[in-house]
Structure 1
Amino acid sequence: MNDVLLKMMGNCLTTDVTKTTHRNVYPAIDPSCPELSQAGKTVLITGGATGIGFATAQAFIKAGAATIIIAARRTNVLSEASTSLQDEAHRSGYPAHVIAETCDVSDTTTVDALWKTLEDKGVKVDVLVLNAARFTETKTLLDLGAEEVWSQFEANVKGPIYMTDRFNKQNIGSQKFLVNLTSSNMHCCHTDYAQATADRPGYALTKASGSLFVQLIAKDVSPDEMQIVSFHPGMVYAAGWEAFGVTKDMLPFDEPELPASFAVWASSKEAQFLHGRYVFASWDVEELAEGGLRRRFGEDIEFLRISVGGLRGTNLDKGWQS
């Protein structure tokens, strides 16, 4: 079974962008690090009641955020998550106040209601974490059909567009931080890379579209106004794996604390050099911030951005010249 899984995952299990990679939280992205402090800030996390979203709320609590808003569709799950987070904050002596709001990001009516509730309470959001997403069956786009593909656009593209619009229109004059959880599916969508990711073209299509949306916003807005970072959270064990009979020991899974802590780091000024870029949570942030990689961010406008491989503008990329 393990050999079959490893073959399906292909080379998506490894990455060589930084010499050091991580599967769990490490000192540079530790939420308790003073440089990453979120003291006084209000953080809104979509899909915040379970999985990576819940772990992200825990990380922001550790970073000293004043208010954590978790938004999700299932009221009962939200209530349990909110109680658990608030209890954790009290036990550990953190100041966070946890708010739970029922919201389906694909439904603009519930999104409007969420922001109206926050406005009525005088709550202004400093950090928006776009974590909610819709997955689909492992079928081709044509086999999925137009209705199912469009439903993924509703959640993975329209949802982030609408949430970002409402986020931008509030808390005017204060620096904002937008963190977009995306997926390596958007570029590992060929069987040459991995069968497991190639089998979900609907997810690749919509995650690429949503990520391009925030990338283009970053092109036109200064990080001093709204800092924007997209990242692949890694391969975190969740209920979806269990449903397929996969246990946690079968693959080298990442701990949920890794992307959760990375989200805190991405919401700090330490990550300003990544404004408008896409990275992996597993990449070592100190390596990204130093040496040749850091220089490339300044010299290569296409580096770690969505574009057409092989072209620079309208011309052939020099790296492809024969």
Structure 2
Amino acid sequence: MTSPDQVPYPTPVLSYHRKSHPSINPSLSKLSTVGKTIAFSFAESSTSHLGLTGRRASKLEETKSRVLSSFPSTSVHLPPDNNKIDILVADAGYANDHNTLEQVDPDQFWTAFEINTDPVVLHVSVGLAHFPYMPGHGPYAASKLAVVKIFNWFKYESPEITMISFHTRLLMTIFCRSTKVSSTVDLAGSFVIWAASTEAAFLDSRLVWATWDVDALKAQASELEQNSLRYTVGLLGFPGPRT
């Protein structure tokens, strides 16, 4: 846990984390229900089937082999089969290197939501979606803000979906190994497992940070029930719930 004077950004909770912690430990039985780390976290939480998809087949095969070597009882599918999807984790396709988001067939994408019952959609977002101006990140920030809106639209059109967007913070990946304020990669994986559990249902339709202490967030559940605008993206001062 990070003390308040070491927190690099404003936070609505007193406790801030840069690595996984007991409340979101994937091995907790109550949580047994992002790239490579998220796959490992789901396998660790006793998930029986994992479906992996991505742009580079070699990386997917590598992840599959590593998951199976550590968790041989987990079935890993490349690409995911056509069975019912219980939890969909939508991770970032591109960093900000003058690239656009990948094109996806909207009919196939929407079908995945229509055929499921009580699904959970976890959207890996980024703080840039709600940050003020940050030089050099215009296309990435704008596209991530747009994706927040898209996933909230799915939520309103399919209210049975539990949809949570979250920012993973700066992880110790190839994109930010040089930063002094990065978080360990296991934080994202552990947070995803917790977010997919019923404990996190009160965050439905919200945008939060994986670094925020989940016990402190749970303490705000009653307040969030009364305030539909907290931890959402919209126009300040505009009446009515935001999307």
Asked if these proteins are the same fold (TM beyond 0.5), I'd say: yes
In the aligned structure 2, how far is the partner of 1:303 from the partner of 1:182?
Answer: 17
How many Å apart are 1:218 and its aligned residue?
A: 2.3
Matched, 1:98 2:98: no
CA distance in 2, matches of 1:29, 1:182: 19
Q: Which amino acid in the other structure matches residue 227 of structure 1?
A: T
| Distance in 2 (alpha carbons) for counterparts of 1:307 and 1:286 | 26
* Secondary structure of 1:22's aligned partner: coil
Match in the other structure for 1:256: 185
Asked if residue 217 in structure 1 is aligned to residue 154 in structure 2, the reply is: yes
> How big is the shift at 1:135?
2.2
Shift in Å, 1:295? 3.1
* Cα deviation digits, residues 30-72 of structure 1 (max 9, x gap): 111121112xxxxxxxxxxxxx410000000011111011111
Distance change (3 Å), C-alpha of 1:37 and 1:87: same
Name 1:227's counterpart in structure 2.
162
Q: Secondary structure at the match of 1:239?
A: coil
Matches within 5 A, 1:117-196: 118-119=81-82, 123-137=83-97, 152=100, 154-155=101-102, 159=104, 164-171=109-116, 174-190=117-133
In the alignment, is the contact (CA less than 8 A) between 1:185 and 1:198 conserved in 2? Answer: no
1:221 deviation in Å?
3.5
The one-character-per-residue Cα deviations of 1:204-257 (angstroms, maximum 9, x if unpaired) are: 1110110111123323433xx311100001110221235xxx3xxx51210111
Once the two structures are superposed, what CA deviation does each residue of 1:146-195 show, in whole Å capped at 9, x if it has no partner?
Answer: xx6xx52x43xx54966651321334xx32110000000111141xxxxx
Q: 1:274 aligns with which of 203, 210, 217?
A: 203
Whether 1:205 and 2:142 are equivalent positions in the alignment is yes
Q: Deviations over 1:115-142 (max 9, x none)?
A: xxx22xxx221110001322234xxxxx
State the distance in 2 between where 1:98 and 1:182 align. 25
- Contact 1:189 1:201 (8 Å CA) reproduced: no
Contact kept, 8 Å, 1:227 with 1:272, in 2: the verdict is yes
Aligned-pair identity (%) = 20
Amino acid corresponding to residue 213 of structure 1 in structure 2: I
| Number of the residue aligned with 2:45 | 63
Deviations 1:8-41 (A, max 9, x none): xxx9932321101111111111111121112xxx
Which residue in the other structure is 2:35 paired with?
A: 53
1:28 aligns to what? 23
For these two proteins, the number of residue pairs brought into alignment is 235
Query: Gapped runs of 5+ residues in structure 1?
Result: 1-10, 39-51, 102-113, 138-147, 191-196, 315-322
Give me the whole-angstrom Cα distance separating, in 2, the residues matched to 1:241 and 1:216.
Answer: 31
Q: CA RMSD in A?
A: 2.3
Which residue pairs with 1:5 in the alignment? none
Distance in 2, Cα, partners of 1:209 & 1:233: 18
Change (3 A) 1:253 1:229: same
In structure 2, relative to structure 1, the CA distance for the partners of 1:177 and 1:69 (3 Å cut) is same
Identify unmatched segments of 5+ residues in structure 2: 1-5
For 1:78 and 1:278, locate their aligned partners in 2 and report how far apart those are by CA, in whole Å. 28
Give the drift of 1:98.
1.1
Larger Rg computed on CA atoms: 1
